[in-house]
Chains A and B, each alone.
Chain A
Amino acid sequence: MKRRDFLGSLGAVGTAGMLSTPALLSSAGRAFAQGNDIPVGLLFSLTGAVAVVESTLHDAALMAIEEINASGGIHGRQLRPIIEDPASDPATYADRARRLMIRDKCVSVFGSYTSASRQAVLPVTEQRNNLYWYPTLYEGRECSRNVMYGGAVPNQQQDDLIPWAIENFGPRFYMIGNNYVYPKEENNYCKTLLKQYGGEVVNEEYVPLGHSDFSSVINRIRSEKPDVIFATVVGDSDVAFARQYHAAELDPSKMPVVSLTRSEVEVKAIGGEAAAGHFSSAPYFMGHATAENEKFVEAYKSRYGADQVTHFVSEAAYFQVYQFKAALEKLDPANITPETIRDAAVGLTLNAPQGEVLIDENLHTHLWPKIGQWQTNGQAEVLIESKERVAPKPYAAYPGQSCTGQGLVKA
């Protein structure tokens, strides 16, 4: 580098530094949403490994925000989405959440797909006493007063599923999952249900995240001959598993894969032919027939392309924005803080695409569990619909502990 170039670039750095200093200082106040619009953060990865799913959550949430703005906003004020890309890195999630909550004074942040990223943001949102809206199904065993959980917890996915699977296919379960907290907690809860309904676990197995060769697993399944494959394999691992399972010509009518994690996104990559006949348990499927869902799917497709799919996490990312709106509408526009939003949101009901959902005082969501069977066209046919809305019990596998409006209570 020539000396002149060096001085030049030094000068540029210096100027940029001076320009940014006053901006930093002026954001020291703690007042929320004082302007003409309401700042909300969107913290979904648009790049990196998780972007495959998370970009669809971003799209769904952004669509809800723009729909709300197009219909006049909230109390006449527009929502101002502030978009950050944490690039699939948990430490970056925490950093960007801090930026959204402190510098941009967001009254709420919508974000995250993985538990790892939610747990990275958790100390930030608790410290700032802000609200983090988390749309994904997850393993439970968490009870923060600063996170709004929009997805299913184990009891909402499994209470109907396990007795149904035992009755229809048999009691011998083969558990296969990726090696991290979500599959282990789900299997943990599954085992308590199996004990209750007279099922048994023939094998419990975990493969590393991103694992792509399932020939050993399939050999073991073939020799164990279980009745049900209980799968909590995620992402591309699940795609590889499903394709190899199909290639090995294992018959879904005798040994179905019952998955808690397989959605329309994965099935699109697996291919309808290989996915057909297997099952998933979720509160939402794209083919679910309600007026709200038709509207949601149509809006999503016309916006992002006819080949796009909606799924059980993007649905929650979408309806959570509307829950946020409903909570704000109950509030005095001069008194909008994360805390008042949270208190207003408790007990709210909303007609979501899956059915009418309710926010529990423990900040998890009452949902409508469904069991769907995948078809060759890549859509699920909903076979079983829960007769009633199921309450979230994030500590269902841990007797004596429950998540309440006062936080975690241990008996």
Chain B
Amino acid sequence: MDVIANQLFAGLSMASILLMIALGLAIIYGAMGVINLAHGEFVMLGAYATWALQTYAGIGILPALPLVFISVAAVGWIVEKVVVQNLYHRPLDTILATWGIGIILQQAVRLGVGAESRFVKGPALLSGNTEIGPLIMSNYRLFVIVFSMAVLAATWVLMTRTEFGMKLRAVIQNRAISECYGIEAKRVYSITFAYGAGLAGIAGALITPLFSTIPTMGTGLVVDAFLVVIVGGLGSLIGSAAASVLIGEATAIFSIVINDTLGRIAVLAGIILLIRFRPRGLFPTETRR
């Protein structure tokens, strides 16, 4: 019983990390129809930005979060302006272009910072565990869970309660008509892309104390993020949240019932089955393209 409770928490912790990474991807895909293969590299940039701030400026992870968000969002904004904006009507070319950008970012970090794994210290405030009976929860993982829910809520408010969100939803539903009403779709897209990149950066910052920070770290993460987005339904916030919990918990349960390697295969097989019967994911959004 203890094992199951602890394992459910592990699943939730995995889900929170998945959600942080997938959210930016889901927004960019949902709003713009751009499959951003450089997303993993934005996560990696976030991790390296955190490392640089800690090593050279002595800023811990938590105070660094807003700075990381802004700097990675700025990179995203530039990428959008220079490359992605020219390719809106050519989805296949965007895949290729963002993949190329990913490789460039990865090699740039490798050449500039070095190939070896970097050390980032976790916040001392959040070290240690909280124990409730048999349930042992790492404080840092608890923090990531709470933080990811807060980011989800903030994104939801941004999408549904602000003028920008309304414009964005209008552009998602029908770009041409919204432009007729005076919405500057280009600008909306730029901001959305930058926001998605910034979220990826924060995800990178948050996972550095748990994972190892290397130039190739994003490649594996982006695959998981895509799984979340596909299962959740393209562009749906609720879908992404539900899918990350589903995938996180399924991974954790399979891992305890079988083992990590076969568990991973079982999760992938489950996703293939799910896509077979719900090709547009759990919560598809009604859009016109």
Q: Which residue of the partner chain, among B7, B122, B213, B214, contacts A219 with CB atoms under 8 Å? A: B7
Q: How far is the CA of A407 from the CA of B129 in the complex (A)?
A: 55
Is A244 close to B, CB under 8 A? Answer: yes
Which residues from A are CB-within-8-Å of B252?
215-216
Contacting pair A210 B220 (CB below 8 A): yes
With A206-B259, A220-B3, A269-B119 in contact, do A51 and B210 touch (Cβ < 8 Å)? no
* Of A55, A216, A265, A269, most B-chain CB atoms within 10 Å: A216
Q: Which residue of the partner chain, among B107, B116, B209, B212, contacts A47 with CB atoms under 8 Å? A: B107
Which residues from A are CB-within-8-Å of B217?
236
Q: For the side of the interface on A, what is the size category? A: 35 or more
Q: Which residue of the partner chain, among B17, B118, B259, contacts A213 with CB atoms under 8 Å? A: B17
Q: How far is the CA of A216 from the CA of B267 in the complex (A)?
A: 15
Question: Binary interface profile of A, 201-222, with partner B (CB < 8 Å = 1, else 0)?
Answer: 0000111101111011111101
Contacting pair A217 B260 (CB below 8 A): yes
Question: Binary interface profile of B, 1-18, with partner A (CB < 8 Å = 1, else 0)?
Answer: 011001101100110010
Q: How far is the CA of A212 from the CA of B47 in the complex (A)?
A: 15
Contacting pair B129 A248 (CB below 8 A): yes
| A contact patch SS | helix
Is B280 close to A, CB under 8 A? Answer: no
Which residues from A are CB-within-8-Å of B255?
216
Stretch at the interface among B134-142, B160-168, B180-188, B195-203: B134-142
Q: Which residue of the partner chain, among B107, B116, B127, contacts A268 with CB atoms under 8 Å? A: B116
Contacting pair A269 B212 (CB below 8 A): yes
Contacting pair A240 B212 (CB below 8 A): yes
* Contact residues of A between 138 and 162, Cβ < 8 Å to B: none
Is A271 close to B, CB under 8 A? Answer: yes
Contacting pair B260 A240 (CB below 8 A): no
Contacting pair A52 B2 (CB below 8 A): no
Contacting pair A265 B116 (CB below 8 A): yes
* Contact residues of B between 1 and 41, Cβ < 8 Å to A: 2-3, 6-7, 9-10, 13-14, 17
Q: How far is the CA of A276 from the CA of B154 in the complex (A)?
A: 40
Could you name 23 residue pairs across A and B whose Cβ atoms are closer than 8 Å? Answer: A49-B216, A51-B110, A55-B115, A205-B260, A207-B260, A212-B211, A215-B9, A216-B7, A216-B256, A219-B6, A222-B6, A223-B2, A236-B117, A236-B212, A236-B214, A236-B217, A239-B211, A240-B211, A247-B122, A247-B141, A247-B210, A269-B117, A269-B119
Q: A47-B115, A247-B209, A269-B212 are in contact. List 9 more A-B contacts (CB 8 A).
A: A51-B115, A205-B259, A208-B261, A213-B14, A215-B13, A215-B141, A216-B7, A236-B214, A268-B116
